[in-house]
Amino acid sequence: MSLKNNNIWSDIDWPTIGIYFLLVALGWFNIYSAVYNEDQHEVFSFASRYGRQLIWIGASFVIILITLILDSKFYSAFSFPIYSVVILLLLAVLIFGVRVNGAKSWFVIGAIRIQPAEFAKFATSLALAKYLSQYNFKPEKIKFFLGFCLITFLPAVLILMQNDTGSALVFIIFFLVFFREGMPSVYLLVGFLAVTLFILSLLYEIPVVIIVLEFFGLLSFYLLRRELKWTFNAAIVIVVLNVIAWQISVRLFPELSLTYPLLVSLALSVLWYLTKIYKHKLKESYLLITILFASLMFTYSVDYVFNNVLDDHQQRRINHLLGIESDPYGAGYNVNQSKIAIGSGGAYGKGYLQGTQTKFKFVPEQSTDFIFCTVGEEWGFVGTSVVLLLFLLLMIRLVFLAERQKSVYSRVFGYAVTCIIFFHVAINVGMTIGLAPVIGIPLPFFSYGGSSLWGFTFLLFIFLKLDTNRNELVN
C-alpha cells in the first residue's frame, strides 16, 4: 500500500525544504561574519568555525537522505527502541562524557564532539508520538498523564544531571503537544498560574503575595456565586482577623516576620468560611480554597528553591531578568552586550561583515547561542524581522502539515517538532533581547554546531518523510 506512490520527490513538502535551506544558508553566512577575521579568510578551512559548519551542513545531506530512504513504519516501529538507546546514551555520557563549559554532556571521538542531549529531543518525540497515538489513549485519564510525564521527564532529568539546564527545559514544551491531543485545559491554566506566582514571589515579599492571593480568592468567589453580601462578609472577616493578628504580632513579637500572623489569621478565617460553605452547600468553593492553599505552598517552595537550590549565577540571572538586580558587567553582561549589538544595527543594519560588536567578541558565544546578535547588528530590524517571520512561517507550515496527517502518530510527531523549534526560537531570541533568561540553547538551523544542526535536521526530515505517507496509517 505504501509503495503505491513510490515517488518521494513529488510527495515531499518543498516549501518546508525551501525554508529549511534558506535558514541553514543564512545561518552559515552569519557564522562566517561572526568569526570573520580580516587576517585569515579561507572559506574551506576545517580550522575555522564556518569551515567546520560547512562540513556539518554537508553531513546533514547524508542525514536527510537516510531519513527519507527509511520507511515511515520504521520510525513508528522503532520509536521505543530508539528512545531507550538515547536514554542509555544519556546515562553513559554522565559517566564517560567530557565537561564543556560546565556541562558534562559531550562525547569526544577524535576531533568530533557529540552532544546526545540534541538527539534526546527527537527520540522523545518519537516515543511520545507512539504513546499518545495508542488505540485506547484517553487524555483525561490520570494514568496517561503520568505516562506522558514519565516519558518526557526521564530524559529531562538525565540532562539536568549533566548540568545542561537549557536543554532540559526544552522538554516542558511537550505539554503543548499534549494539549493539542486533549490534555485538560486546567493543566495549562495551572501552569500559567504557577509561572505568574513564580514571578510574583520573586518580585515581592511573601506577605504581599498572601494579601494578593486573599484578594483574588474573594474576587473568584464573587465571580463564581455573584453573592455580593456573602463576599462582603467574607472580606470583613478576613480583613479584621488580619489586622488583629498583625497588631498582636507587632506589639508582642516585634521581631517576628509578618508572614506568620497573616497565615494564622488566614487559617482562622478559612475555618469560619468552611462552616459557612458546609452550611450553604457551596461545593465549588472547596476547590477555591484548595487552589488558594496550593498557591501558597507553591510560593513557599519557589522561595525555598530559589534561595537554597539554585546556584548564585542562576539566581543573579533570574534577578537580572526580572529587573531586581542591575549589573551590566556581571550577570547581565551577556544580555547587555547583546542588546547593544542588536540595537546598534538600527533599522537597516551595518551591512554584512561590518558589525563591530559581535566581531570583536563583546558578545560572548556569538556564533552559537548569540548568533541572533550578528543578524541584528549587520542586517538591522529588517533582518531580524525577516528571520523571525521565516521561523513563524515554518512553524505555521508545520502545524498545517501536522493537521493533514491521517495517522495520529504522524500528527503528534509533527507537533513535537514544531513545538521544539518554537521553544528554541522563543528562548534563544528572547534572551538576546532581554525577554527570556539566559539559558544556553541554540537557534535552530542558525547556530554553529554539528549536534544541533543534525538534531534539528533529523527532527524535521523524519516528519517530512512521515508527511509523504500522510494518507496512510503508519502507527
Partner 1 sequence: MNQYINRKYVIVGIFSLVVLIFISRLFYLQVIDQSSKLLASNNVLRHVSKYPARGLVFDRNQKLLVYNEAAYDLMIIPNQLSEFDTLEMCEMLNLTKEQVIQRLSKAKAYSYYKPSIFEKLISARTYAPLQEKLYMYKGFFTQTRTLRRYPQKIAANVLGYVSEVDGKITKEKGYYKLGDYIGAKGVEKSYEKVLRGKKGVEIFMVDVHNRIKGRYKNGKYDTAAIHGGNITLTIDAELQIYAENLMQNKIGSIVAIEPSTGEILALVSSPSYNPELLVGRVRSKNYLELQKDTLKPLFDRPLMARYPPGSTFKTVNALIGLQEEIVHTWTRFPCVHGYVSGRFRMGCHPHKSNLDLIKSIQNSCNSYYAHLFRNLLDHPKYGSFENGFETWRKHVLSFGFGKRLGVDLPNEKQGYIPTINRYNRIYGEGRIKSLNIVSMAIGQGELLMTPVQMANMAATICNKGYYFTPHIIKELPQAFNDLKMPLTVKRYSDIDSVHFNPVIEGMYLAVNGLDGGTARNAAVKGLDICGKTGTAQNPGKDHSIFIAFAPKNTPKIAIAVYVENGGYGATWAAPIASLLIEKHLSDTITRKYLENHVLKGDLIHVIKK
Cβ nearer to partner 1, comparing 7 with 136: 136
Cβ nearer to partner 1, comparing 357 with 451: 357
Cβ nearer to partner 1, comparing 107 with 179: 179
Cβ nearer to partner 1, comparing 164 with 181: 181
CA distances to 61, 146, 154, 233, 320 from 150, rounded to whole Å, are 34, 6, 6, 46, 33
Cβ nearer to partner 1, comparing 244 with 395: 395
Write the secondary structure of 391-430 as one string of H (helix), E (strand) and C (coil): HHHHHHHHHHHHHCCCCHHHHHHHHHHHHHHHHHHHHHHH
The answer to whether residue 345 forms part of the interface with partner 1 (CB under 8 A) is yes
Cβ nearer to partner 1, comparing 97 with 376: 376
Q: What's the rounded Cα separation, in Å, for the pair 431 and 438? A: 5
Q: Say if residues 418 and 395 touch (Cβ distance below 8 Å).
A: yes
The contact pattern for partner 1, residues 380-419, with x = CB under 8 A and - = no contact, is xx--xx--xx-xx--xx--x---x-----------x--xx
Pick one of 320, 339, 424, 470: the residue that binds partner 1 (CB under 8 A): 339
Burial 124-137 (b: 16+ CB within 10 A, else e): bbbbbbbbbbeeeb
Residue 109: CB minimum distance to partner 1, A: 33
The answer to whether residue 356 forms part of the interface with partner 1 (CB under 8 A) is yes
Question: Please, which residues have CB within 8 angstroms of residue 392's CB and are 6 or more apart in sequence?
Answer: none
Query: Which residue stretch of 55-63, 250-258, 319-327, 341-349 sits at the interface with partner 1 (rule: CB under 8 A)?
Result: 341-349
Q: What's the rounded Cα separation, in Å, for the pair 177 and 187? A: 13
Helix H or strand E segment including 263: helix 259-280
The answer to whether residue 128 forms part of the interface with partner 1 (CB under 8 A) is no
Pick one of 357, 367, 451, 457: the residue that binds partner 1 (CB under 8 A): 357
Cβ nearer to partner 1, comparing 159 with 425: 425
Query: The dihedral of CA 364, 368, 369, 375: what is its sign?
Result: positive
Strand 112-114 to strand 98-100: parallel, antiparallel, or no bridges (unpaired)?
A: unpaired
Q: What's the rounded Cα separation, in Å, for the pair 370 and 113? A: 20
Cβ nearer to partner 1, comparing 265 with 418: 418
- Sequence length of the chain is 475
Cell of residue 420, nine digits: 521544539
| Size of site (CB under 8 A) for partner 1 | 43
The answer to whether residue 291 forms part of the interface with partner 1 (CB under 8 A) is no
The answer to whether residue 18 forms part of the interface with partner 1 (CB under 8 A) is no
The answer to whether residue 141 forms part of the interface with partner 1 (CB under 8 A) is no
The answer to whether residue 362 forms part of the interface with partner 1 (CB under 8 A) is yes
* Interface positions with partner 1 (CB under 8 A): 38, 176, 179-182, 337, 339-347, 356-357, 360-362, 376, 380-381, 384-385, 388-389, 391-392, 395-396, 399, 403, 415, 418-419, 422, 426, 429-430, 433, 435
